Amino acid sequence: MTTIDVEFAMNPDPRCACVLLLDTSASMAGPPINELNQSLKVFQEDLQEDPLARRRVEIAVVTFGDKGVTKIQDFVPVTCMGVDSRGEPVGVANEFSADQSRLTA
Domain assignment present for 7 = no
Domain assignment present for 70 = yes
Q: What is the dihedral of CA 89, 90, 95, 97, to 10 degrees?
A: -30
The Cβ of residue 85 has, within 10 Å, a number of other Cβ atoms equal to 10
Among the listed residues 89, 20, 102, 25, the one whose alpha carbon sits nearest the alpha carbon of residue 58: 20
Domain assignment present for 62 = yes
Residue 32's domain comprises 16-104
Per-residue pLDDT reduced to its tens digit, 53-95 = 998 999 999 999 998 999 988 888 887 776 655 555 565 555 5
- Dist. CA 46–CA 6, nearest whole Å: 26
- Dist. CA 13–CA 8, nearest whole Å: 8
Domain assignment present for 4 = no
Q: Is the pTM of this model over 0.85?
A: no
- Dist. CA 74–CA 60, nearest whole Å: 5
Domain count, the chain: 1
68 residue type, one letter: G
Domain assignment present for 5 = no
